[in-house]
Structure 1
Amino acid sequence: MLQVPQAQAITGDNAPPVAVAPLTKRKVTSTVQEARIKRLFVASGFFSVIIMGLIVLFLFKEGLGLFSTVSVKDFLFGDFWYPTYDPPDFGILPLIAGSVAVTVISSAIAVPLGVGAALYLGEVAGHRTREILKPAVELLASLPSVVLGFVGMVVIAPLMQQWWDIPTGLNVLNASIMLAIMAIPTITSIAEDALHAVPKDLVEASLALGATRLETLTRVVVPGAMSGIGTGTILGMSRAMGETMVVLMVAGGAAQIPGSIFDSVRPLPATIAAEMGETPFGSEHYHALFAIGIVLFLLTLGFNLVAAYISRRFQQRGAATL
């Protein structure tokens, strides 16, 4: 019977040399390039944070000077904005009310239309239709705000006066419609991309289990894309909150608390844009405008934080549903 000799352990000096593949010049170059690109991205991120921090620091430095002579309560809850009177009034409650009014109404118009357009483009429209409509929507997003403001002044305002027999067409509703037109392309584009990101396997599995197209859309596709839809909604509403030119041209410019959608208002961004150029440097009026900028910054920041929280909750709920 043949015996197979046992393999001897090879240790020490008896071990054959292990061949180590040399690191090629190409691999070294690729590694160095990746390290440089990584450092570039990190530097870009830090640069953005630093610039943002400097802007916020300058904003607070110039705006907080007002509160040495005006109390925070009188500033936030005062009913009158007459910065050039003697003595002046620096109450911005009418300005805050105007910003909130146009933002809420424009969002009520833009969010359903934007999400509905995204659902149509992503789930209903054919390939050829989508190729035509989506570039048109994205082109609408690049339309200058001054053009929309001009349309609101020349076209929409006279039509409102004629249809509803109101004193002026430059009012809350006009500004809200123009802001909604600006926000719809942003909401539609981002929401449509989010709908396309939902895995097709989930859609096919839902249809294979007997769900209708509508049930699949409402119970699978929309919950799976809710985070992206929420992000698009946030960006669209944030643009409406901070937009300057449209509200300056079509909101009417009256610093008053609106009683109806046909009243003229002056939102916070329009006030800064209209008055900063004629304000003496270092005056109370100058510091008041920067204080308005602080309020607008805090409102936008708070709005984004709340919306991001809601978006995360929808994302978790959608993940649990799927």
Structure 2
Amino acid sequence: MNKQRLKAKIIKYFLQSCGSLSIIIVLLIFLFLFKEAFPFIGSPGIGELFHNIWNPVSFQKEEFGLFPLITGSVLVTILATVIAIPFGIIGAVYISEVASAKEREFLKPFIEILAGIPSVVLGFFGLIVIAPLIKDLFGLNTGLTALTGAVLLAFMAIPTIMSISEDAIKSVPAAYKEASLALGASKLETIWKVVVPAALSGIVASVMLGMGRVVGETMTVMMVTGNAPVISMNPFTSVRTMTATIAAEMGEVTIGSEHYMALFWVGIVLMLMTFSLNLISYRVLKKYGMIDK
């Protein structure tokens, strides 16, 4: 008995140590970002980050405005989420409530495999197939637009939304469905008027997690969005996201330069956005008992 208790305590302390280490690593990342970015506050000044132009390599005056990068990320994220939501939710409903056991056995692993496709492969597919298609379909000068990036990012977000939404739908008590059917509602009415509303909190959390996945994506958007740092909410224009900016420019800057420090501010804003989305998702799931309190 003593050996079992000792073994349980060792496992408990090991898991606690792993959890604590994860928190410490995240805090250290935040500290590192702020350490590298902090000197920018003194010179050229934090106000430079609130301009509308990002042009850090200008021969006249270097501009470090973050708004074009933030609006680019927000536009692509919103578009991708809007595209992914109907596919993710309808797919989750089908797998949970309509599909046979054999279909479910095939579809569930297939969706999880889709989530593992490398982003650079999707980017290459978008560059060769999706970009020309969007260019011809809408009569544009270029297919490298925010919409192109959103379509590919939606494809990456759908597995997350579908998987978590399906778990939320399956967690709805069977009594709800039985009561609805007993009152004369059809199976379709039961699904959309009883099951989906009852699972709404989990579905919302899945959407937030999908957005978190989208906002942090790098290679795909760098390859297909055109990388134009302009402020625009037009889905048919080229934009540049925060992730693409860091990936494209960090390898070429001089360590300690103003450009270098500005890129770390981009990283701070990006990390805060991702952290906020994940925190909201966690709070929603915890509130409605979908994870242990």
What TM-score, normalized by structure 2, do the two folds share? Answer: 0.92
Cα distance in 1 for partners of 2:177, 2:46 equals: 54
SS where residue 71 of structure 1 aligns? helix
1:1-322 equivalences in 2 (<5 Å): 27-76=1-50, 78-86=51-59, 87-306=61-280, 315=288
Q: Number of paired residues?
A: 289
SS where residue 170 of structure 2 aligns? helix
Structure 2: state its 5+ residue gaps: none
Cα distance in 2 for partners of 1:290, 1:129 equals: 47
Cα distance in 2 for partners of 1:218, 1:167 equals: 42
Which residue of 2 is the match for residue 19 of structure 1?
Answer: none
Change (3 A) 1:282 1:132: same
Cα distance in 2 for partners of 1:198, 1:259 equals: 38
The 8 Å contact of residues 130 and 148 in structure 2, kept in 1 or not, is answered as yes
Structure 1 residue 72, shift from structure 2 partner: 2.9
Structure 1 residue 267, shift from structure 2 partner: 0.5
Q: Which moved more, 1:230-239 or 1:181-190?
A: 230-239
Structure 1 residue 138, shift from structure 2 partner: 1.2
Change (3 A) 1:63 1:232: same
The 8 Å contact of residues 226 and 311 in structure 1, kept in 2 or not, is answered as no
Structure 1 residue 285, shift from structure 2 partner: 0.7
- 1:50-71: per-residue Cα shift (whole Å, max 9, x none)? 1111011101111122121233
Aligned-pair identity in percent equals 48
**Bigger-Rg structure (1/2):** 1
- 1:150-209: per-residue Cα shift (whole Å, max 9, x none)? 011011111222222211101110000000000001110111122222232332233234
Structure 1 residue 91, shift from structure 2 partner: 0.9
Structure 1: state its 5+ residue gaps: 1-26, 317-322
Q: Which amino acid aligns with 2:84?
A: A
SS where residue 69 of structure 1 aligns? helix
Cα distance in 2 for partners of 1:44, 1:310 equals: 25
Cα distance in 2 for partners of 1:141, 1:190 equals: 13
- 1:131-165: per-residue Cα shift (whole Å, max 9, x none)? 22222211111100001100110111112222222
The 8 Å contact of residues 253 and 266 in structure 1, kept in 2 or not, is answered as yes
Cα distance in 2 for partners of 1:43, 1:304 equals: 22
The 8 Å contact of residues 208 and 278 in structure 2, kept in 1 or not, is answered as yes
Structure 1 residue 90, shift from structure 2 partner: 0.7
Cα distance in 1 for partners of 2:10, 2:196 equals: 40
- 1:228-255: per-residue Cα shift (whole Å, max 9, x none)? 2222211111011111111100010111
- 1:223-282: per-residue Cα shift (whole Å, max 9, x none)? 332232222211111011111111100010111112521110110000000000011111
Cα distance in 2 for partners of 1:47, 1:302 equals: 21
